[in-house]
Amino acid sequence: MHVEASIVVPVFNGATTIVSTVEHLLNQSLSPKEIIVVDDGSTDDTIEVLKPFETRINYQFKPNGGPASARNFGARLATAEFIAFTDSDCLPDRNWLKNLLAGFDSPNVAGVGGSVKSVNDSLIGEYVDLLQMLEPAKNSNGEIEYLITANACFRREALLAAELFDERFRKPGGEEPALCRRMKELGHQFRSAPQAVVLHHHRQTVGSFLRTIRNYGEGRYLLGKLWPDYQIADPTRTFFRQAVAIRSLASGVLAYVRQHGVKKALAFSALDYLRQLAFLRGYLRGVSTKTGKEHTS
């Protein structure tokens, strides 16, 4: 039986990377039914660099609304039974789509997520890969809680039944757990397909990496407005306790040093410390600005 999939790629000011992404998608061993690129209000040369592909992709421009909004825009246009997502700074392997679709081995499986690895050997990239931050997220029982949309595919019917991504999450972080939580509440399951590989341009500087983590923390606050089990008890106290937990730096170095050497152990331990602070700072930013107040109605 022939299985068809639409591919949706949101992009915002991605002129430097989107061409390579599209080229990799056009070179898939299993050709997609369509490639929908949703430009979320870019102000750079994204539209210009994509013009050579205008007969091979479905390019759509919309006002800026965030990645959840852009993915939904594309998903509503998609016509295939399955909808695969990747990002404008990703390079999917040639067998990426084929391997994702192979993961739908049961009618109860509504989503399959693949592996996301750094496209280069930068320190930040190695750290993100080490923690598997962009892999399908699992709970303590090993069950997949949510998929990462840099590398994921969903049944269109199940995606629409869950009402797509929550567009109140205007920044990256939180919209994926929210969607998958709703899908699980509808009785759906997820699978991991490690052989479906995407290379990703991870953040290259500590500052840009921590800004991303801060957005994740703010997304966690919004999730807590929807589901109380996501809430962090007394986040202010937790933040200050983490800030003075210098002892954890030393224990972190010891944990890393055997496999990575002293230099990287020091760097990874420092990143652990800063990452946790950035996440909590993002959560507190959500609290202080009442970012999630609309979720209470």
- Tell me if 32 sits within 8 A of 5, measured CB to CB: yes
Q: How far apart are CA 195 and CA 199, in angstroms?
A: 12
What is the share, in percent, of the chain residues with pLDDT greater than 70?
Answer: 95
What average pLDDT does the chain have?
A: 92
245 has pLDDT over 80: no
Which residue intervals of the chain are DSSP H helices? 18-26, 46-49, 67-77, 96-102, 123-131, 156-161, 175-185, 206-226, 235-243, 247-289
Q: What is the pLDDT of residues 40-60, one digit of tens each?
A: 999 999 999 999 999 999 999
Using a cut of 0.85, tell me whether the model's pTM lies above it.
yes
> SS3 for 237?
helix
- Tell me if 200 sits within 8 A of 149, measured CB to CB: no
Q: What is the pLDDT of residues 105-128, one digit of tens each?
A: 999 999 999 999 998 888 999 999
Q: How far apart are CA 58 and CA 204, in angstroms?
A: 30
Across 88-92, 101-105, 200-204, 254-258, least confident range: 200-204
